[in-house]
Amino acid sequence: MLKELEAYGLLAYNRSFKEMTTIKVGGAIKYYFEPNNMYGLTKAIEIIESKQLAYKIIGNGSNLLCSNKDFDGVVIKLNNLNHFEVNDNIMYVEAGVPIIVAANYAINNGLSGLEFATGIPALMGGIIYMNASAYNEAISDVIESVLVYQAGSLKWIDKADLYFGYRESSFQTNKDWLIMAVNLKLEHADSETLKALAIDRNQRRFRTQPFEYPNCGSVFRNLSDKPVWKIIDEANLRGLQIGQAQISEKHSNFICNLGQASADDVNALIEKTISLAKENDNIDLFLEVERFNW
């Protein structure tokens, strides 16, 4: 049905979200496609939409919780959109570049603005989509413009014409805007100082987050008046296990796959946490992780 996609990239069948997400759960995928480049992506979207098939664009799958249901559509992974370059202090980065790669390149070349991201296991497109942040810094702080594919054409959109908030962006409300690349405005700085800062932050991240198990990063968005981990701890949920999914002993805003967890196990922990936060403290928790195909 989709053989014509093979002219524009890698087409595969019967893959699984277990392979595509960092928490290693989820159902089967009917079609999987990796476009060779931006042109291949735009052609693929045209073909897929002409056949009225659903599609989902993913990066590293580090912020995704996919259901156990099979997905009768196309999952598109952008890892071949991997070009980046620097002109003075402007860094052009395509959507499939790992943010860790971009951040380390900037640091090694004496450019500041991406140190917050040296430990985030996501691609640039996902970072922009979620307006990822850490240490009171966000990707939106350094965005100059974003290259978007929409309605059959590519266009640069200035940051002034985009919305960014805490874990929010214009791309979440404009589902037909596909992030292709970004121009980042960085600042010249001493490379050794930046390296020391990045190393310190990464060491802190490894001390406090459960990298020893598959997970999907922070499950809930932080609240302004109280850390989410504290709310979870006060509900006595740290370490709670359902099936092979567990609220992390190391950081209770993480849910870990201890080996053979199902998406339903993970989701049950999420729903229990939401319910108890509301019941105990009348607090509404909001997901940071994206639930897909539920």
On whether the pTM is more than 0.85, the answer is yes
What's the CA gap between 52 and 161, in Å, rounded? 30
Q: What string of pLDDT tens digits covers the 294 residues of the chain? A: 799 999 999 999 989 999 999 999 999 999 999 999 999 999 999 999 999 999 999 999 999 999 999 999 999 999 999 999 999 999 999 999 999 999 999 999 999 999 999 989 999 999 999 999 998 899 999 999 999 999 889 999 999 999 999 999 999 999 899 999 999 999 999 999 999 999 998 898 889 999 999 999 999 999 888 899 999 999 999 999 999 999 999 999 999 999 999 999 999 999 999 999 999 999 999 999 999 999
- Give the chain's domains with CATH numbers: 3-77 (3.30.43.10), 84-207 (3.30.465.10), 228-292 (3.90.78.10)
CA distance 238 to 255: 10
Bridge partners of 164, per DSSP, are 169
Look up residue 177 and give its two tokens: 């805007």
Active-site residues, by number, are 167, 218, 288
